[in-house]
Amino acid sequence: MSITRFSRDEFLQTRWNYGAGQHVSLISPTQNGKTTMISELLAHTDFSRSRIPPVMLIAKPQDPVVAQLVADLEYKEIEQWPPTKPFWKDPPPGYALWPKHIVDAPPEVNAVHLGKAFRAAMSECFWGGNSTLIADEVYHLCAIQNMQPELTQHWTQGAGMGAALWTATQKPGGTQQGSIPTFMYNSPTHTFLGRDNDERNRKRFAEIGGVNPKTVEETVLKLQRFEWLYIHRDGPTMCIVEA
């Protein structure tokens, strides 16, 4: 089966068609451009009719790539939720919820510290609807924050409320405690898969509904670095987005 290829610019400018409340998943090993792809997708998506600007959850103590993403998108960096906004200023294009870690504190202390801010933002995005929550480190939210119930609620019920969840991870989920729920595969309207040499990981792609798993597995194995196999569930349609 031949799958159409598009340059990155053509895909973003003419092929990327996003609707309010639609979930997005990106799955690829580390250093394959997940953060960059999220940044480009956000920059080419119209959120002007959203109730609140997109909210990005950032869990790392520091990360120059993420910091550059926030700067490029002109998102407002905040440490707690809800944000404070002077009444005379327009809202920013988005929020980067990036709580400062407590230096030298045990991991469980920082987990509680970050989790309080993240859960507050996630709750407002879900229950208020017409929102977009971005979790570039969904594994951290599952393994450290134990937020599988909140994520599952978003994936299974959020779309109907207009509450979109954009997530990225390095490795497909499993069945062990702290793993990423399989809803990350079968709930999103838009899925991006990067090259993965691990056969066990590729087998998990069979959980993506509406597509031939063998075709997906073979295509992902042949991708070059920074390329993506894009799957639109409602088609279903597939294409390759070039680096």
What is the structure's pLDDT at 132?
98
Q: Is the dihedral of CA 116, 76, 153, 173 positive or negative?
A: negative
What is the structure's pLDDT at 175?
45
Has residue 149 got a pLDDT over 60? Answer: yes
What is the structure's pLDDT at 206?
72
Report the percent of the chain where pLDDT is more than 90.
Answer: 69
- What string of H, E and C letters represents the secondary structure of the chain? CCCCEECHHHHHHHHCCCCCCCCEEEECCCCCCHHHHHHHHHHCCCCCCCCCCCEEECCCCCCHHHHHHHHHHCCEEECCCCCCCCCCCCCCCCEEECCCCCCCCCHHHHHHHHHHHHHHHHHHHHHHCCEEEEECCHHHHHHCCCCHHHHHHHHHHHHHHCEEEEEEECCCCCCCCCCCCCHHHHCCCEEEECCCCCHHHHHHHHHCCCCCHHHHHHHHHHCCCCCEEEEECCCCEEEEECC
In terms of Cβ atoms closer than 10 Å to its own Cβ (0-12, 13-18, 19+), residue 66 is: buried
What tokens were used for 144?
A: 């450290």
Long-range contacts (CB closer than 8 Å, 24 or more residues apart) made by 183-188? 183/151, 183/152, 183/155, 183/156, 184/25, 184/27, 184/138, 184/151, 184/155, 185/25, 185/209, 187/23, 187/155, 187/156, 187/159, 188/22, 188/23, 188/24, 188/25, 188/155, 188/233
Interval 46-58 mean pLDDT: 96
Has residue 174 got a pLDDT over 60? Answer: no
Has residue 16 got a pLDDT over 70? Answer: yes
Could you state, in order of their start, the residue ranges of all structural domains in the chain? 20-192
Whole-angstrom Cα Rg for the chain: 17
CATH 3.40.50.720 fits 20-192, yes or no: no
Has residue 210 got a pLDDT over 90? Answer: no
What is the structure's pLDDT at 141?
92
pLDDT tens per residue, range 85-96: 777 788 899 999
